[in-house]
């Protein structure tokens, strides 16, 4: 520990001398380049960027540098430094939900249960809808939790999971993997309730019965009853695509998204993100993982080959993805249904088309890159949308898709409980996503699966706390993470 402390002192002295005589703007730009241009796997450059930002924070009191110290320290698992920076930020912004959540995560990593619980409860006091934080509280408190009812699906899953995997992962890793394999092999969800409920819902005016979107088949078998209120999740016997059946009508979906997504608090958070560097891997600021993936697939060479670099983000939300591509020199446009988000992004100078893709007629076309980040699972006709996107793209253009993976390890462990999100209509495996992209005319370049953004979903939290951090790395090595990343090209 003494040697590590001395190394950090030397790094700080070097960084101070390296930026001596440079303006604060130049020093910040240099540190920012180190942090953003290098792969997240290059720890030495991350450490160099961390030290540079820390010097700027200590010397100038620069808040943006403080944000970067917190983010980089967390990525490097330097939790004492991350804790110091996070606490300092919360002194200035005590109501920051993002940093209160991070405070809880740090205490979790340090094994400090009570401070973690207190931080998560402060998050819920400010944002009662933070499902990931609710799940973390269930995991930390076990069956004794008074924060979430024992009837909650998360409580039930936690109880079942701990019962079925009582083993010390540090002492017997092989046994852990055998237990995991047995756990999801034996999980056979009942189909009878699903079929009965499906028949009842066919007469509901808010639902519409339709053939499989991928193959046109009309034969389905039950997979699960989704969510607390229950809705049918079915698998097509022809192609294997999992989908709600019957489906909500478009009118039902549009009304729901306009009413529930992107409220005032969400826009305020986005405003801060647009005016600052990304501050972490939360669902709102997922770009570091996205950009790492795209850079690994040759984004820089692709950018060099395109003359205009025109991008369209489908379901752009608050525009976090567009903001970071704009920084890279792209001309960015987006589609969105939420009026607050549309108004906010137009204030920021973006071209935003209002409505769902299938109903928008005046898109410019010739896009070099089209992105659908956690959108394809929400739309009623994903194959139709992909075909329209194909017609709007320039030859050789890229399409980038992210969506929860129905063949992930967390989904297999959770069984029926994985289908908890009432807004998801389709559930893709790597195979069904590839088949759909190819059916739309694309040539698939890569399909990967990583452990989800922020390490905050309840599947990850249970695995992390119950089985140890090494399992998360193993899950990604097996390409069985809970988020699919798909990259495809329009043939020249």
Is pLDDT at 490 greater than 60 in this prediction?
A: yes
Helix (H) or strand (E) holding 17: helix 2-18
Using alpha carbons, select from 447, 455, 83 the residue that is nearest to residue 297: 447
Where are the strands (E) in 34-111, listed by range?
Answer: none
Using alpha carbons, select from 361, 372, 300 the residue that is nearest to residue 334: 372
99 vs 472, higher pLDDT: 99
User: What is the tens place of the pLDDT at every residue in 217-240?
Assistant: 877 777 776 655 456 788 888 888
Is pLDDT at 431 greater than 60 in this prediction?
A: yes
CA angle 421, 425, 427 (to 5 degrees): 80
Using alpha carbons, select from 378, 78, 102 the residue that is nearest to residue 252: 378
User: What is the tens place of the pLDDT at every residue in 375-400?
Assistant: 999 998 999 999 999 999 999 999 99
Under a CB-based contact definition with an 8 Å cutoff, are residues 317 and 305 in contact?
A: no
Is pLDDT at 186 greater than 60 in this prediction?
A: no
Q: Which of 174-178, 184-188, 373-377, 472-476 shows the lowest per-residue confidence on average (mean pLDDT)?
A: 184-188
Using alpha carbons, select from 205, 188, 201 the residue that is nearest to residue 245: 201
Of 42-56, 233-247, 424-438, which has the strongest mean pLDDT? 424-438
Rounded to an integer, the average pLDDT of 356-367 is: 92
CB atoms within 10 A of CB 171: 8
DSSP state of 428: B
* pLDDT value at residue 458: 41
275 vs 457, higher pLDDT: 275
The topology (CATH level 3) of 253-452+464-490 is: Rossmann fold (3.40.50)
Q: In what order do the strands lie in the sheet with 310-313?
A: 351-354, 331-336, 310-313, 367-373, 393-404, 483-490, 442-450
Q: Rounded to 5 degrees, what are φ and ψ at 334? A: -150, 165
Portion of the chain with pLDDT greater than 70, in percent: 58
Is pLDDT at 309 greater than 70 in this prediction?
A: yes
Is pLDDT at 10 greater than 90 in this prediction?
A: no
Give alpha helix (H) positions in 355-416: 382-392, 409-414
Domain extent listing, the chain: 1-91, 253-452+464-490
Distance, CA of 145 to chain centre = 27
Helix (H) or strand (E) holding 485: strand 483-490
Q: Which of 127-141, 309-323, 329-343 shows the lowest per-residue confidence on average (mean pLDDT)?
A: 127-141
204 vs 426, higher pLDDT: 426
CB atoms within 10 A of CB 491: 10
Q: How far is CA 91 from CA 51, 99, 127, 232, 378, in A?
A: 22, 11, 19, 47, 39
User: What is the tens place of the pLDDT at every residue in 130-180?
Assistant: 656 766 676 565 433 344 444 444 344 434 444 443 444 444 444 444 444
């Amino acid at each position: 520990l003494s040697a590590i402390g001395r190394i950090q002192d030397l790094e700080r002295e070097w960084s101070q001398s390296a930026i001596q005589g440079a303006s604060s703007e130049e020093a910040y730009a240099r540190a920012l380049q180190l942090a953003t241009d290098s792969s997240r796997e290059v720890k030495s450059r991350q450490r160099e960027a961390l030290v540079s930002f820390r010097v700027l924070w200590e010397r100038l009191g620069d808040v943006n540098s403080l944000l970067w110290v917190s983010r980089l320290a967390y990525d490097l698992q330097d939790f004492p430094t991350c804790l110091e920076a996070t606490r300092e930020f919360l002194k200035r912004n005590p109501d920051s939900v993002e940093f209160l959540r991070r405070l809880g995560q740090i205490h979790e990593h340090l094994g400090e249960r009570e401070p973690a619980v207190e931080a998560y409860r402060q998050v819920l006091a400010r944002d009662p809808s933070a499902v990931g934080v609710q799940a973390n509280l269930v995991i930390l408190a076990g069956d004794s939790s008074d924060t979430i009812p024992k009837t909650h699906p998360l409580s039930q899953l936690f109880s079942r999971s701990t019962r079925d995997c009582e083993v010390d992962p540090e002492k017997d890793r092989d046994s852990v993997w055998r237990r995991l394999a047995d756990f999801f092999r034996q999980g056979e969800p009942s189909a009878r309730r699903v079929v009965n409920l499906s028949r009842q819902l066919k007469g509901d005016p808010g639902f519409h019965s339709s053939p499989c979107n991928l193959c046109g088949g009309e034969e389905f078998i039950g997979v699960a009853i989704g969510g607390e209120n229950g809705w049918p999740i079915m698998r097509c016997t022809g192609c294997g695509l999992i989908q709600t059946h019957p489906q909500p009508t478009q009118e039902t979906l549009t009304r729901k998204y306009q009413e529930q997504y992107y409220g005032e608090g969400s826009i305020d958070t986005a405003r801060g993100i647009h005016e600052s560097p990304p501050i972490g891997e939360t669902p709102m600021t997922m770009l570091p993982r996205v950009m790492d993936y795209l850079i690994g697939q040759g984004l820089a060479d692709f950018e060099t080959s395109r003359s205009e670099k025109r991008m369209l983000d489908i379901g752009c939300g608050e525009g976090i993805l567009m903001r970071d591509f704009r920084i890279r020199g792209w001309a960015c446009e987006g589609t969105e249904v939420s009026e607050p988000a549309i108004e906010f992004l137009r204030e920021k100078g973006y071209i935003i088309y209002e409505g769902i893709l299938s109903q928008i007629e005046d898109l410019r076309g010739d896009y070099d890159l089209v992105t659908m980040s956690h959108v394809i699972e929400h739309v009623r006709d994903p194959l139709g949308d992909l075909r329209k996107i194909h017609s709007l793209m320039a030859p050789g253009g890229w399409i980038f898709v992210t969506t929860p993976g129905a063949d992930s390890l967390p989904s297999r462990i959770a069984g029926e409980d994985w289908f908890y999100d009432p807004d998801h209509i389709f559930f893709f495996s790597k195979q069904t996503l590839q088949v759909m992209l190819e059916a739309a005319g694309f040539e698939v370049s890569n399909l990967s699966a990583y452990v989800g953004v922020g390490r905050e979903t309840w599947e990850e939290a249970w695995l992390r706390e119950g089985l140890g951090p090494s399992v998360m790395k193993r899950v990604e090595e097996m390409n069985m993470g809970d988020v699919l990343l798909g990259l495809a090209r329009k043939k020249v």
